[in-house]
Structure 1
Amino acid sequence: MNRKQIIFTGGGTAGHVMVNMAIIPEFIKDGWDVDYIGSKTGIEKELIATIEGVTYHPISTGKLRRYFSKENFKDPFKVLKGTLQAYRIIGKKKPAVIFSKGGFVSVPVLVAAKMRGIPAVIHESDYTPGLANKLAMPFAKKILATFPETMKYLPEKKAEWIGAVVREELFNGNRKKGYELTGLDSRKNVLLIMGGSAGSKKINDAIREGLDELLSDFHIIHICGKGLVDDSINRMGYVQYEYVQGELKDFLAITDLVCSRAGANAIFEFLALHKPMLLIPLSLQASRGDQIVNAQSFAKQGYAKVLEEENVTKSTLIQSLKDLRQQKYDIKDKMNEYKVSEAKQKVMDIILEQAKS
């Protein structure tokens, strides 16, 4: 086996990075040299920069669109350029293994890994595989699934169900610090609103339009998305942030209810922390429908309520949140039946197994 060297990849959204962020510190602790191949401007660059000891390599990447765009004609050349860049990086670093969390940037990396003869492991969080992972699957040795139902969409000989990888730090939130950071208190249920790493204008607008009524029932932590904070709103019991990272564990410690998109990593973290959810999945107009299926799965199991994005208005959102508050104890009872698996250790064992091979 080569020296203890590993390359991680994945990006485009925070969801394509969080599992990597949970695993990377363990490899660093174990004496591995860790490199990360990501895009030049994606959120992964910003997130990985917070982990000391990781060398980041930006490459060219195209967006894999399911709709017509002039950019579709340029993107194959971007992917080819990215593949050559990844091929050079892998040749220089000589990793024992590559771990991919998916997203557009991972495709050229997985192709280059196959060309170099380096084993690669893919992790699929969503109920159905994303387009990038579908394209990358032929170049991987192992494909890991979060939802057991995902196994029927994966090549049988390569696939393994491992469950959800949850960041351990989220279990270490401090309630006192959470209240101090936000200026809120425990007199009302704390509602955490998250519209995904890019934010959601539609959710933000509905929340703000209904703020007077919502504040009679809740204190609100609103994570709005980059550039989407409204500085004109200054209300007792309502705090806004563009994006949070280190503070999230303390915010979750004081959170009673969550209103969120339905990205797989996030909703499994809320489930592990027993936070009843109102899920507003990305619509089919804005996505391939993966969040809709994720949300339906959680609703069927009694972990969440669902409000389709097309139906989001001030009144439907307020009513859905009131319903969630009334049913929170029933939802928590269901959540108590869920057992957090040892998914992180399973992923690490599989990565090490492939490195030795």
Structure 2
Amino acid sequence: MPDQKINILAIESSCDDTAAAVLCNGKILSNIVATQEVHKQYGGVVPELASRAHQQNIVPVIHQALAKANIDKKDVSAIAFTRGPGLMGSLLVGTSFAKSLSMGLNIPLIEVNHMQAHILAHFIEEDGFDKPQFPFLAMTISGGHTQIVMVTDYFEMKVIGETIDDAVGEAFDKSAKILGLPYPGGPLIDNYAREGNPKTFKFPKPKVDGLNFSFSGFKTAVLYFVQRETRNDPDFVEKNLKDICASIQYTIIGILMDKLKKAVKETGINRVAIGGGVSANSGIRQALKDAEKRWGWTCHIPKFEYTTDNAAMIGIVGYHKYLKKDFADFSVTAQSRYKF
């Protein structure tokens, strides 16, 4: 822990949440998120509407983050921001504001990879939460990504498995849409699944080589299943909703855990951390707790507030980059596709 106070102001705008946080030496002083309700009526995120909402929200969100942290902007040590991956219009708002603020305050600018941030969120100073020991395996699961990453140090990460088509979060949301549930449907499937029987209906698991994932065929299987059953009984979904949701969730978690078990076996690393929006799912959390008991894994499950997009995770990456003096210059640009 450094002697001086390092205050990082972090900005996250990769999709449809405008977020700002202030961290002092890795500990959160504030973590503010403004969600955008406008997308619900469209059944998904509309990029143009998202970027407009970011423009409206970014100033008040940053102001609120500084006020809650009781930090004056002159006391900020550096500005950390999400460079990518994400929606280009949304990223441009955060990137442009971060660059302007950094220039105006004459303090360092730190670019952050959104997916690295989901992994390093486990290193936020939190009472009651142990930090992973290196090396460990991280599974990032969200609406846009599904990856297994081997992490050997804060910024030494290697993707050893990823989806070849759709992300797991999309599989949840599209399945929910097929069932007639509103957006975002993933959390609703989780809620209904808790009261259903996961063995009622059987869905196929895609056969994909290595540690990679595929969910496009699974979504098609759910669609054909619902179409077939509703032809025979128009009220089939309504009558069996909880069991269908439980069966969908059981299959998806099985796909994730099969690959994770394979990764542990191949690497010999039994320390596992999850991150991303789908890591809030109760089924995957329980599966990891069961894995600790059955196979002796050490599993790290994030607090709910760090599962969805937030600026605290951007701030912790910014903090560790600040310690390394790893700063960006003002030529930095947003990247919708941004690998680490």
Does TM, scored on the shorter chain, surpass 0.5? no
State TM-score, norm by structure 2. Answer: 0.36
State TM-score, norm by structure 1. Answer: 0.34
